[in-house]
């Protein structure tokens, strides 16, 4: 298994590691490292971009794929035409800091949004997606109260101003499932095969299962603008947000 440095320290942007598997004849098969801070994507958060530096050569990384079996290696996908380091090569990984930092702020902003909507309106999440600096989240809300858009924006930014700590923990599965708010999505559960579950705790606001990267406190998110609230059927409302410094 690849050691997940992105979980150990989400602020890490450069590190040394070794290629444990690759196929230079088939670049699309990917590159497996013994240690990686590249977030592989999932839960709506896109994968990191960056480079591997080795022997005076640069290989751009444009995607990361998981092997099909649970807990297996992460395969870094190089840009078309870029060279692939052979197994055993010592490389230096470097993540696109601007992209990752923006995604961390956006992801944490979505958790603040989710926690606020659940607390104030009792609605669960039915879908979501994000790109650096902007995102959308869908909620099972048959009715939207008057002034919902501005009320929600004000409430979310009040939580950001509260500077709440954001803490990642890995808990035994039974302990994690005892948390009443662990799953905020309407139709999803954590992977059943995992003996442990990673939990993101926005202290005093929101606790839920999550595998993505986050900032250390709500104040680091920056101001959230609720750009639009859309109807997506009788039961669903889509909230679009934008993150500003």
pLDDT of residue 186: 59
- Rounded CA-CA distance 208/167 in Å is 11
Reported as a single tens digit per residue, the pLDDT across 128-148 is 999 999 999 999 999 899 999
pLDDT, greater one: 79 or 186: 79
CB atoms within 10 A of CB 146: 6
Kindly give the pairing relationship between strand 125-131 and strand 223-231. unpaired
Contact partners, residue 88, CB within 8 Å, separation at least 6: 18, 19
Reported as a single tens digit per residue, the pLDDT across 99-138 is 999 999 999 999 999 999 999 999 999 999 999 999 999 9
Q: What are the φ and ψ backbone dihedral angles of 22, each rounded to 5 degrees? A: -165, 165
CB atoms within 10 A of CB 136: 20
The domains of the chain, with CATH numbers, are 3-95 (2.40.30.130), 99-244 (3.30.980.10)
Reported as a single tens digit per residue, the pLDDT across 211-231 is 999 999 999 999 999 999 999
Average pLDDT rounded to a whole number, residues 183-212 = 81
Average pLDDT rounded to a whole number, residues 162-172 = 96
pTM over 0.75: yes
Is it the case that residue 71 has pLDDT exceeding 70? Answer: no
Reported as a single tens digit per residue, the pLDDT across 16-60 is 999 999 998 888 889 999 999 999 988 889 999 999 999 999 999
pLDDT of residue 179: 86
pLDDT of residue 67: 74
Q: Which run of H or of E encompasses 198?
A: strand 196-202
Across the chain, mean pLDDT equals 92
pLDDT, greater one: 188 or 1: 1
Is it the case that residue 192 has pLDDT exceeding 90? Answer: no
């Amino acid at each position: 298994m690849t050691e997940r440095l992105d979980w150990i320290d989400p602020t890490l942007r450069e590190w040394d590691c070794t290629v444990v598997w690759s196929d230079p004849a088939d670049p699309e098969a990917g590159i497996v490292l013994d240690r990686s801070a590249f977030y592989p994507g999932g839960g709506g958060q896109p994968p990191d971009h960056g480079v591997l530096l080795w022997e005076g050569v640069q290989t751009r990384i444009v995607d990361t794929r998981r092997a099909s079996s649970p807990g297996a290696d992460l395969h870094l996908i190089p840009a078309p035409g870029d060279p692939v380091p052979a197994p055993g090569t010592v490389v230096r990984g470097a993540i696109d800091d601007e992209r990752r930092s923006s995604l961390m702020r956006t992801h944490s902003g979505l958790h603040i949004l989710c926690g606020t909507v659940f607390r104030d309106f009792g609605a669960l999440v039915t879908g979501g997606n994000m790109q650096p600096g902007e995102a959308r989240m869908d909620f099972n809300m048959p009715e939207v109260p008057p002034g919902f858009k501005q009320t929600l924006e004000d409430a979310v930014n009040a939580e950001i101003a509260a500077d709440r700590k954001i803490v990642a923990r890995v808990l035994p599965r039974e302990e994690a499932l005892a948390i009443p708010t662990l799953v905020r999505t309407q139709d999803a559960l954590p992977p059943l095969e995992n003996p442990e579950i990673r939990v993101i705790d926005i202290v005093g606001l929101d606790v839920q299962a999550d595998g993505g990267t986050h900032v250390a406190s709500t104040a680091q998110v920056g101001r959230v603008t609720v750009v639009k609230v859309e109807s997506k059927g009788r039961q669903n409302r889509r909230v679009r947000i934008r993150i500003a410094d």
